[in-house]
Structure formats: C-alpha cells, structure tokens
A = this chain, B = another copy of it.
Amino acid sequence: MKPVKVGLLGLGTVGGGTATVLSRNAEEIARRAGRGIVIDFAAALDTSHAAQLGLSGVRLSNNAMDVVEDPDIEIVVELIGGYNLAKDLVLQAINNGKHVVTANKALIALHGNEIFAAAQKQGVIVAFEAAVAGGIPVIKAVREGLAANRIEWLAGIINGTSNFILTEMRDKGRSFADVLAEAQVLGYAEANPTFDVEGIDAAHKLTILSSIAFGVPLQFNETYVEGISKITPEDVSYAADLGYRIKLLGIARRTEQGIEQRVHPTLIPRKQLIASVDGVMNCVMVQGDAVGSTLYYGRGAGAEPTGSAVVADIIDVVRAMTSDPNNRVPHLAFQASTLADTPILPITEVETAFYLRMRAVDKPGVLADVTRILGDRSISIEAFLQKEPAKAGSEVDIIMLTQRVRQGNMDEAIAAIEQLDSICGAVTRLRVETLN
C-alpha cells in the first residue's frame, strides 16, 4: 500500500518532535499501521532547520495555506498554535476534504464545536489527543477505553508548569515568584506565564475532558478558572501539617444540578496517588460507575511526548480513513446529535470542602466569633490549626478545614468574617477534595 502523505504546519517544539518521531520510528510505525506515513509537505515561518528534523527532500513553504491547498496531502497536522490562523487553516483543510490532527487545546476548547460540525459535514476526522495531557493517551481512554461507563467525575494535574512550581514551593519552602523566575530560566515557563499559572491552559484542557466525559458541547466560557499565583509558602506548609498537598486541579463532575467545570488550586489528601505526581508530570483521574477509579500518568508537554500523541492520532486516522464516517468514534465521544444541554454550574453553586486561613488578633473571643459566623450558615469545621507567626507579635494564623458547603454560603461567611475587627486583612480560601 502507498504511504500516506501528511502535511505538517509548524516546525516549532511539537512540530519538530512529531517530525523526529515519525522519521526515527518509521519502520515500527509502518509495522503497526500497515503502511508508511510520510511528511510530504511542511510549512513554517522559518524552515531553515528542516533537514535537522529529518525533513530533507520534503517540500517546504513559508505559507501554511500552500499545504492545506495541496491536493496530494491527505492529513493536515496543525501544530502552529493560537486561535485565528490555526482556525482558518483547519477549517480550510476540512473544507478541502482533508483529515486534521491538532495539538491545539485553545483552538479545540474555543472553536471545537464549529470545527467538529464542519468535519462531520465533510466526513473527515479531526483528532486532538495531543491537546490534553501531552503524551498520555487520556482522550482515548475516556472516549473509547471507558465507553461503557457513566463517567462520574474526573480530576487532573494538566499543567506541568504550575505543578513544577507547586512542587518546588513544597519541597524547598520557596515563594511562588521565586520559583516562577527559575522556571522561566529553565524553560518550563513562558516569558508571559499567565496562561500556565493562572489556570487558563488547564481550563482549555479541562473543557475538552468535560465534554468527552459527559457528552456536552465544549463550553470554555463556563469553566471557572483560578490560578496558583496567590498560593503562599505558608498555605503549602499548613496544608502539609493537615495531611494535604496543594495541586492545581482541573475538575469536572456530574451532579444532579448540572456539571461542575472548574480549575483551581486544591488541597488533596497526601495518600492519594495523584498527590505524589510531582514536577512537570501530568496525571488524570477518571471515575466511572462501572470501572471505579482509574488514573493516567505521564509527560504533559515537550517535543517528543506531544509528538507521540500527534503521531498516534495520525495512525488512528490512517486506520479510520477508509471506514464509514458514520461509524467512527465521535469527536466528542458521543454522537453529535445526542450531545446534551446539561447546564454547567456557576461556581457559587458548587459544593466543596474548604481550607480557610485568616490572621487574627490574639485575644479571647475571636474564634468564637468566627465559628458563630460559620455555624449560622451551617458550615461545620472538620479540622483546626492555630499557628504563631514566625516573628513575635500579637497576631496568629488560624487555619480551618470545613465540611462540604455550597460556595455561595462560604462567600457570605467569609465576607462576614472579614468584617470582624479582630481579623486582619482578607481570608484565604482554597478548596479541598478527597477524590474518593
């Protein structure tokens, strides 16, 4: 059988990794796929390093649209990133009847509904395993491996940069700003780290996971996002004293009222396997009604780990391209016509346990005031810790773990606590999940 001709858009980190993997493992890949897979045409603003990537003899262009419009190309691999140009290229490729593989989480999270509708109309596949958790085949696990289950919830460490920062903060007692600066030097964090540390990148990925878990359209704008930039070394240390670790989690959960879709720093029990996932590694837990708890772990970024997922998608497309378009794995796991309009819950309606930290004047009655405010709103305290500040003075840190409560209630309670004369400054509030 003739090799499949792939067009590659982008020769940056992931584009380079994809080219390297396809060329180094060409023989093994052909033994699996039953035919060769070759990059026939590649486009990038700078193509001067193409030969280093094993792309000697491959047609090159500085205009990605040349690849998309090329009649010989059967699969377009979009590794440019960003929304606008990437979207135009992907839609045009679909329009030209080509299958698409992409690692672009922002594109899928924001424009996936439109892209998948166009692909279905044309009978082509848009594959996006690399968009979530890099090399971990978690899209495949949720869409296919757990297809027998009613998924109850999933929770993931899906941003390596944030996890690296939180790990360093815990291991070395360092501050967020200090570790971030080092991560930028090491290349683990971008010059503009907002997407990573403020949870936006994780929210893109979580939006995709939530859709394929629950069979709802992609709704990035409904995803609650809170980053790690306000986490202090004290919070990390107090959490440890209470038996918890702080991780930036993406959480999607099905409740009777609707779907929770949220990214925020979360205290999780140290004994949970996922609590030991450190550094830049990613990990996703998926809870199904039949299978129970499952977990997937690996590298969530990097040239070859992401290339691994891109190439696996290409192989899947090669296998499915001769099949009946109506009998393929649906883009969002459920047949497009059966996607549900289950509402995404506003964060104020979400119920979780909470970690509260407040600084109080060390005088009688403060604790009574705080517990009364919580008790009035039926918020029970699960654990309590009072710490002297590092330097001598008249203020103490009070730390509490509460039982589960609707966030709206908690917000009211915190506002009331902050009104107390004996409480200094704002109350720090983090969510707690047992993941059981």
Question: Which residues of A are interface residues toward B (Cβ below 8 A)?
Answer: 17, 21-22, 24-25, 28-29, 31-34, 129, 135-137, 140-141, 144-150, 215, 273, 276-277, 288-299, 304-305, 307-312, 315-316, 318-320, 322-324, 326-330, 333-335, 338
Check if B29 sits within 8 Å of A147, measured CB to CB. yes
B327 touches A324 (CB 8 A): no
Which of these, B273, B305, B327, contacts A290 with CB under 8 Å? B305
Q: How far is the CA of A316 from the CA of B146 in the complex (A)?
A: 11
Pairwise interchain contact B304-A291, C-beta atoms closer than 8 A: yes
Chain B residue nearest to A302 in the complex (CB): B292
Q: Is the CB of B34 within 8 A of A308?
A: no
B150, A145: Cβ atoms closer than 8 Å: no
- Say yes or no: A333 contacts B148, CB within 8 Å: no
Is B294 touching A136 in the complex (CB atoms < 8 A)? yes
Residues from chain B with a CB closer than 8 A to the CB of A318 are 327
A160 to chain B, nearest CB (A): 12
Minimum distance in angstroms from A34 CB to a CB of chain B: 5
A28 contacts which chain B residues (CB < 8 A)? 149-150, 215
In the complex, the answer to whether B148 meets A34 with C-beta atoms within 8 Å is: no
List of B residues within 8 angstroms of A335 by Cβ: 31-32, 34
Tell me, in angstroms, the Cα distance from A51 to B330 when the chains sit together: 33
Contact of A140 (CB < 8 Å), options: B21, B144, B295: B144
In the complex, are the beta carbons of A311 and B148 less than 8 A apart?
yes
Docked-complex contact A32 and B147, CB < 8 angstroms:
yes
Pairs across A and B, CB under 8 Å, 22 listed: A21-B290, A135-B288, A135-B292, A135-B294, A136-B291, A136-B294, A140-B144, A146-B308, A148-B309, A148-B310, A148-B311, A273-B273, A273-B276, A273-B297, A291-B304, A292-B299, A319-B323, A319-B329, A320-B323, A322-B324, A322-B327, A323-B327
Looking at the assembled complex, report how far the CB atom of A116 sits from the nearest CB atom of chain B, in whole angstroms: 15
Give every chain B residue within 8 A of A21 (Cβ-Cβ): 148-149, 290
Residues of B within 8 A of A288 (CB): 135, 308
Residues of B within 8 A of A33 (CB): 147
Q: Lowest 5 A-B CB distances belong to which pairs? A: A137-B145, A148-B311, A294-B298, A135-B291, A323-B323
Contact B323–A322 (Cβ < 8 Å): yes
Q: A31-B335, A276-B276, A322-B327 are in contact. List 9 more A-B contacts (CB 8 A).
A: A25-B149, A34-B326, A34-B330, A135-B294, A273-B273, A291-B299, A291-B308, A296-B297, A323-B327
**Closest chain B residue, CB of each to CB of A17:** B290
- Pick the contact of A298 from B291, B309, B311 — CB < 8 Å? B291
Contacts of A136 in B (CB 8 A): 291, 294
